[in-house]
Amino acid sequence: MYVGLDNRLEWQTDTLTAASSANAQLEGDDSPTATAVVPTVRLGNYTQISRKIPMVTGSQRAADNAGRGDELNYQEAKMGLELRRDMESAHLANNARNAGAAATARVSAGVLSWIKNNTSKGAGGSDPAAADGTGTRTDGTQRALTETLVKDVAQLIWAEGGNPDRIMGNAFQRRQIDNFTGGNTRFLDVKDEVLHTTFSVYTTSWGKMKIIPNRFMRTRDVLLLQNDMWALAYYRTFKSEELAKTGDATKKQLIVEQTLESRNEKASGGVFDLLDA
């Protein structure tokens, strides 16, 4: 991975050729014909700069804050958590990558701009034109999430060589998954007399997937992801800088520059255009 002059992180991705049942060769035969090498594909995503600026007055720093020490340190730690939430929200948004300009900030493409091949959509919905972060999804007619839709997408991913290990959706879609009847068992644990009506791992013919509720996803989407095919790539890791003092207050800047790396979108997929209420 490297960074070009346009602040874009880039990486290589590759695919396997289709399996051939006819690959049978003569014993002792020469090999006059070489297989043409298909070059790897170079993908990239622009880095996005995010920041928070905590500011605390002299009076606030002098005060005896019950339960915690220096107010500036507390605000700095709090805004660090907020930055991470902002980053996750951006990576799950329907954003295409944008190189930015003099008055426009660079934008990193979110996961929805990468997933193109293994999808289920409502009427009128469409995938990005290319699986490279340059386009966005077009929303279609919403419909209810069903177990069949999830299994269909899981099968598409498996056929492409992927092994999704997690299903991710918002709180409403998580409750719809609880209504699935296959791949789970609801039971009464006699040890603690608790009725277990939810499950955290969903088993299909295409593998097991951990169910992860996500607060920052669009409510109309459910993603099936192979986790190791996605990465958070930093150009500049989190940094705290003290800003110039201009009055009776102390300011700091928390800043980070990063992007989302899609190593092979065919290993993941999504069920889109879902009813969210």
Summarised one tens digit per residue, pLDDT across range 254-263 is 999 999 999 9
What confidence tier does 250 reach under pLDDT thresholds 50, 70, 90?
very high
Per-residue confidence (pLDDT) for residue 31, from 0 to 100: 79
On the question of pLDDT at 248 being above 80, the answer is: yes
What tens digit of pLDDT does each residue of 81-133 get? Answer: 999 999 999 999 999 999 999 999 999 999 999 999 999 999 999 999 999 99
Residue 187: predicted pLDDT: 46
Average pLDDT over residues 204-226: 94
Look at residue 65 in the predicted model and tell me its pLDDT. 74
Beta strands per DSSP E along the chain: 2-3, 8-13, 41-46, 48-52, 55-57, 119-120, 166-169, 187-189, 194-196, 201-204, 207-213, 222-225, 230-242, 249-262, 269-271
Instruction: Name the residue among 61, 78, 221 with its Cα closest to residue 139.
Output: 221
Average the pLDDT over 34-60 and give the result.
Answer: 88
| 158-176 average pLDDT score | 95
Please give the backbone phi and psi of residue 104, each rounded to the nearest 5 degrees, phi first. Answer: -130, 125
pTM of the predicted protein model: 0.85
Whether 95 contacts 110, CB under 8 Å? yes
The residue count of the chain comes to 277
pLDDT at 13 (0 to 100):
81
Residue 18: pLDDT band (50, 70, 90) is confident
In this predicted model, which residue has the larger pLDDT, 24 or 238?
238
Mean pLDDT of 152-176: 95
Spatial distance between the Cα atoms of 257 and 84, rounded to a whole number of angstroms: 12
- pLDDT at site 37: 78
Return the pLDDT at 194. 54
Segments making up each domain of the chain, as ranges: 2-10+42-271
Q: Give the mean pLDDT of the chain.
A: 89
